[in-house]
Amino acid sequence: MGNLEIRTALDRHWEFTGIDIDKSHEIYRDDVIVEFPQSGERISGKKNLYELRKHYPAKLGFKVLRTRGEGTLWVTEYIITYDGRPVNVACIMEFIDEKIAHETLYFGDPFEPPEWRSKWVEKPN
């Protein structure tokens, strides 16, 4: 699978994430591993991932900021909202045989920047 095909598959995945669980999970291998390093959790297998997401108790929203990658390694940065509360996410995906074999998710709460550094930075919308 080339870069264009993976990018197309990822665009389809993100288009249906939070909307159609079946379509959004087409991109995963049956033996996928999904890790949350901050909580130390690991989800083994597409079936467990599907069931976890199917039974998630909060209403989720997704806004993809950008997806970049090459070959078998891709990263998507997005904002997920949990019942309206935004959280920034970096999602690292490794592909084998045209499907995601390993996904690592890092979550970060937004924060207000300190005033002291305002003369050197900008806040794009």
Q: Could you read off the pLDDT of 47-106 as tens digits, one per residue?
A: 999 999 999 998 899 999 999 999 999 999 999 999 889 999 999 999 998 899 999 999
Q: How confident is the model at residue 2 (pLDDT cuts 50, 70, 90)?
A: confident
Phi-psi label, residue 86: left if phi above 0, alpha if psi -120 to 50, beta otherwise: beta
Residue 110's nearest CA partner among 54, 63, 56 is 63
| d(C-alpha 47, C-alpha 117), whole Å | 46
Q: Which domains does the chain have, with CATH numbers?
A: 3-109 (3.10.450.50)
The predicted structure's pLDDT at residue 111: 87
Strand residues in 41-113 grouped as ranges (E): 41-44, 60-70, 73-82, 85-96, 99-108
Whole-prediction pTM: 0.89
DSSP at 116: G
The predicted structure's pLDDT at residue 124: 78
SS3 content of the chain, % helix, strand, coil (to 5): 25, 45, 30
| d(C-alpha 47, C-alpha 13), whole Å | 17
CA 11 to chain centre: 12
Write the CB contacts of 77 (distance below 8 Å, at least 6 apart in sequence): 64, 65, 66, 67, 88, 89, 90, 91
The predicted structure's pLDDT at residue 110: 86
Task: Write down the mean pLDDT value for the chain.
Answer: 93
Mean pLDDT, residues 10-29 taken together: 95
The predicted structure's pLDDT at residue 123: 80
